[in-house]
Amino acid sequence: MQQREEKQLESALESIILRVNDLKSSIAAMIFKVENEYDTMNWPTFLDNYALLSGHLTSLSKILSHDKCPPLRNLTILPLMLSPERDEQLAQVTEHRVSTFAHDIVPDYLRTKLEPMAETKMNQLEHKAASLTYDNAQKQVAAYQKVVSHIWDIVSKSREEWEVESSSRGNAQQNSNVADTDMLVAAVSMGKGLKMVGNPNGQPGPTGCMVPPPGRPGSGPGPMPPSTQPMTMNKAPSAIKTNIKSATQIHPYSR
C-alpha cells in the first residue's frame, strides 16, 4: 500500500513539474514579447498568449484535482541538511535562483501557510464576503456591470470616431503644392527667380519700379521725387507737362 502511494506521488509530481515548466516557458515568452516586441505586438496576439497561459493553468488544475493525485496538502517537506555554503546541485535544480539552503531562507521556501499579514488580510476578506447578503451582492454586481457597460460604450464611440477621422484623413484632397510654396518663399525672402528690366530712362531697375534719372553735371542736384514710394509703370502718364529748373545757388563761402 505504501509503495503504491509512493508511485502515485512520483507520477503526479512528474506531471505537475512538466505542466509548471510549460507554464513557466509561456510566461517567459509572453514577457519577452511585451518587453521587446511591443511596437509590433497587437491585441489579438496578446490574447492568444494569454489563452495559452490559461490553458496551462487549466491543465495544472485538472492534474491537482484528479483522483489519482494524492492530496499534497497532507504532505510536509522537511530539510535534510542546512548549510550556508553554496550547493551546486541545488543551484542547478533551481536554475541558479537558490544557491544555498541556509536557516534564513528555509521558512520562506518551505512555508506551508501564508505570511501573517497576508493571512490576516485574507481572513478579513473572507469574513466580509461571508457576511454579505444575497441582495447586496446582486446590487453590487449590477452596479459593476453598469460601470463596465458605460466604459465599453465610451471606448466603442471613441474607436468609431477615430476610424472615421482616419478614413477622412486618407481621402482628403491635396489643396497645396509644396514646390510652389517653397518657390514663393524664396522669391519673397531672397529675390530668387525675379528678373531685372529697364525703366523708361534706359537704366536697370527692379521689375515694375522706376528709377529717377540723376541731375546733369554742373547743374546741381536733380529734381526730388514727389514721394518716397516707388511708382509703378502700369499707371498712365499725366497730360500736364512741367518744367522745373533748379535755381542757381550762391555759396556764401565761394571763392
Pairing status of strand 197-198 against strand 204-205:
antiparallel
| Mean confidence (pLDDT) of the chain | 77
Which pLDDT score is estimated for 229? 47
Mean pLDDT of 92-120: 84
In degrees, rounded to 5, the angle at the alpha carbon of residue 81 between the alpha carbons of residues 77 and 87 is: 105
Residue pointed to by grid coordinates 539552503: 101
Q: Cα–Cα distance between 34 and 53 in angstroms, integer?
A: 14
Whether this model's pTM surpasses 0.85: no
Q: Cα–Cα distance between 27 and 24 in angstroms, integer?
A: 5
Given a cut of 50, is residue 91 above it in pLDDT?
Answer: yes
Top-confidence residue, 241 or 48: 48
**What is the b/e burial string over 139-178, where b = at least 16 CB atoms within 10 angstroms of the residue's CB?**
eeeeeeeeeeeeeeeeeeeeeeeeeeeeeeeeeeeeeeee
Given a cut of 80, is residue 26 above it in pLDDT?
Answer: yes
Q: Is the dihedral of CA 105, 21, 95, 9 positive or negative?
A: positive
Which pLDDT score is estimated for 1? 65
Q: Cα–Cα distance between 50 and 57 in angstroms, integer?
A: 11
Lowest mean pLDDT: which of 59-73, 162-176, 204-218?
A: 204-218
Given a cut of 70, is residue 174 above it in pLDDT?
Answer: no
What is the DSSP secondary-structure string of 119-170?
HHHHHHHHHHHHH--HHHHHHHHHHHHHHHHHHHHHHHHHHHHHHHHHHHHH
Top-confidence residue, 212 or 47: 47
Residue 101 class from Cβ within 10 Å (0-12 exposed, 13-18 middle, 19+ buried)? buried
